Structure 1
């Protein structure tokens, strides 16, 4: 069924509300965790990072409101163009004197006051492209040559360009999100096995090509080793200390000791450790519960869409947020190697926050074309045709009751 046939309705309010709650909580935690860092390291006011994050939240929310009113057909129609623009930006980043470099890392484009990371935008555009290809080539999905290779090549190319920046975390998130769309599209299990057999050796090759990546893996396995405790393992150890000191209810907002120069850059990728220290395991559980609710609403939207492109795109966006939470929390708690993935909506990072909010805007737009519609507060699972017929039946029933009442008065 095409998107245009489905009756348009209001976006998913629950998804909208939980997103605003996560962003608001993130702003509070960025301020709480970055006050001392802003004063001691940056030499600015205590609200320096908070103000920057607030500006990014404003841009992200504005884009979210705009995108939630853009029909999914627009992204389906312009999927190739959007992907090519971001692909060009990823190439420009790697060109000397064009891409902005900081500490041997080249990830940014634009003037110094308006820098942005194309790799963050590629997370969204690759999902749009993959959804477009798998929706268009639905009849070829079981063909490895025609249905699997073309979208995988685009995913692989963008992953490779991001690895060259280098940015292992974002490339991993892009690859996992893209594979989630491929799996949801229904590619054969043996084709997934072939891709896995190819990707695993390549992944380990990229890890051991750079010494710091291999060291991260060793630090993950032996964080308390004397060889790593004061170097690569220091951040992870401080994260463990923060979680231990947090207990059940935490030390209180703004009363944690890790932001006082112990945990490096506490407002960024390891902000979840500060959350546990200041709000305790109860606060951490509440955050994870909020993310779980977000994921549940997102998947409910995805499974209620009849248009294949829209459904795959919704699954891709939800998987991007899901993998972001899993990888970040796993790294902070020592269950996964540290990869530099921010906690969605909460960690400090302008481009990352903007892209996540714009992704939610698209997801809210998709939610306006789902099968479940609301009539007098009662949720329905009927198709648009059934919905219209139900309204006609209600009109006939009202007319019949009026006729009966008039007949009773006459008698």
Structure 2
């Protein structure tokens, strides 16, 4: 090395964020194993079936996290449009012979050796592209023509590609995430009137028609789940039974009763209720506190980065974790109508786990460029 030249030392990543994400993934692996055992034995004759797949996904996700953690986040800005097109293109593949239908919905792509869920890729691809849009338009973000209308078009396209997969829960999650980013960027609040009209119209469209009767049933069941506990209110009631029977300390790890065919996909959309049943209020509180730690560190990173793209990207990833976690916990506690939403880092799902861990890797790289306390 030439004399007089110095190498700029790379900053450490946010340790609290890193440990919070890894601890949640570890808790998720344990709870997926516990909650999936009965169904794995019944359907596959192997109680470790879902555990093995979750460990593989976590391992790939860890590699993705490490890679993204060491790639300068600014590169995502450079290729944001290409990433967005690839994400939307993966959604379009659902309508080719590669797309497969499971449990009444066409949401998976068959790659031969595994399946892939495009909606998770669309979420992170939309966040990256929208962060680039907001950083480029920050001087005009409050205008109708250059700010609100283009932003709503991007949000509409992104959510539309998810909605056609008959996945209203993920559509709402992505819409809430992108709208949070738009709000943080300084959107003109007076334009909310037009957005409100659009939301009401969209809500009417979503709930109307015979093919959407199951969504109206979910709202009916939400109003009084115990009045329909043998049919449309079954999931909500069984979830509440699980949470209630757990008490303060829980029944004990592996001792859930509701996972024995009472709660459908207890290792996925309702894993939080199994946590409550087996680990009690203290277990659910622990998970919530770790999620709050991740969200808090994400907010600190977004506030501490000087670059506007980094700020919006960090805000988007943090908002995604926040919105999806809130919806999952609200569904499990019957605070909102039932919808299929996973709990980030915890629920079973290879694509979701790998995408979320990689997204945390991006957030960790942004933390390397931020002026913040890394403890």
Give the TM-score of the pair, scaled to structure 1: 0.86
Match of 2:131, SS state, is helix
Cα distance in 2, alignment partners of residues 179 and 296 from structure 1: 19
Q: Deviations over 1:27-56 (max 9, x none)?
A: 00001111111112x132111101111111
Q: Does 1:71 align with 2:46?
A: no
2:19 to 13, 17, 20: 17
1:213 to 215, 228, 231: 215
Cα distance in 2, alignment partners of residues 157 and 344 from structure 1: 24
Contact 1:64–1:358 (CA under 8 A) maintained in structure 2? yes
Contact 1:229–1:237 (CA under 8 A) maintained in structure 2? yes
Deviates more, 1:266-275 or 1:192-201: 192-201
The change in CA–CA distance for 1:366 and 1:29 in structure 2 (over 3 A counts) is same
Q: Does 1:30 align with 2:32?
A: yes
1:311 matched to which residue of 2?
A: 311
Contact 2:300–2:372 (CA under 8 A) maintained in structure 1? no
Contact 2:98–2:111 (CA under 8 A) maintained in structure 1? no
Contact 2:13–2:368 (CA under 8 A) maintained in structure 1? yes
Q: Would you identify which runs of 4 or more consecutive aligned residues in structure 1 move more than 4 Å? A: none
Q: Does 1:222 align with 2:224?
A: yes
Match of 1:166, SS state, is coil
Cα distance in 2, alignment partners of residues 238 and 325 from structure 1: 20
- Equivalent residue runs for 1:293-308 within 5 Å: 293-308=293-308
Cα distance in 1, alignment partners of residues 112 and 175 from structure 2: 29
Q: Deviations over 1:244-284 (max 9, x none)?
A: 11011111000111112222221111011110111111111
Cα distance in 2, alignment partners of residues 192 and 315 from structure 1: 20
1:87 matched to which residue of 2?
A: 88
Q: Deviations over 1:344-381 (max 9, x none)?
A: 1111111111111111011001101002367xxxx8xx
Cα distance in 2, alignment partners of residues 197 and 121 from structure 1: 29
Match of 2:193, SS state, is helix
Cα distance in 2, alignment partners of residues 223 and 112 from structure 1: 40
Q: Which has the larger radius of gyration?
A: 1
Contact 1:302–1:314 (CA under 8 A) maintained in structure 2? yes
2:237 matched to which residue of 1?
A: 237
Contact 2:98–2:109 (CA under 8 A) maintained in structure 1? yes
Structure 2 segments unaligned to the other structure (5+ residues) = 1-7
Contact 1:64–1:359 (CA under 8 A) maintained in structure 2? yes
Aligned length in residues: 366
1:391 matched to which residue of 2?
A: none
1:49 matched to which residue of 2?
A: 50
Match of 2:107, SS state, is strand
Q: Displacement, 1:101?
A: 1.8
Q: Displacement, 1:90?
A: 1.4
Match of 1:107, SS state, is strand
- Equivalent residue runs for 1:392-403 within 5 Å: none
- Equivalent residue runs for 1:31-180 within 5 Å: 31-40=33-42, 42-93=43-94, 95-180=95-180
Match of 1:19, SS state, is helix
Cα distance in 2, alignment partners of residues 239 and 197 from structure 1: 34
Cα distance in 2, alignment partners of residues 253 and 367 from structure 1: 35
1:389 matched to which residue of 2?
A: none
Contact 1:90–1:158 (CA under 8 A) maintained in structure 2? no
Cα distance in 1, alignment partners of residues 162 and 373 from structure 2: 41
1:408 matched to which residue of 2?
A: none
Q: Displacement, 1:14?
A: 0.9
Contact 1:7–1:369 (CA under 8 A) maintained in structure 2? no
Cα distance in 1, alignment partners of residues 37 and 322 from structure 2: 29
Q: Deviations over 1:163-195 (max 9, x none)?
A: 111111111111100001100110111123322
Q: Deviations over 1:94-118 (max 9, x none)?
A: x252322223311112324321111
1:387 matched to which residue of 2?
A: none
Contact 2:298–2:363 (CA under 8 A) maintained in structure 1? yes
1:351 matched to which residue of 2?
A: 351
Cα distance in 1, alignment partners of residues 148 and 268 from structure 2: 36
Q: Deviations over 1:214-268 (max 9, x none)?
A: 111111112112xx32122111111111111101111100011111222222111
Q: Kindly report the root-mean-square deviation, in angstroms, between the aligned alpha carbons of the 2 structures.
A: 1.6
Cα distance in 2, alignment partners of residues 361 and 292 from structure 1: 18
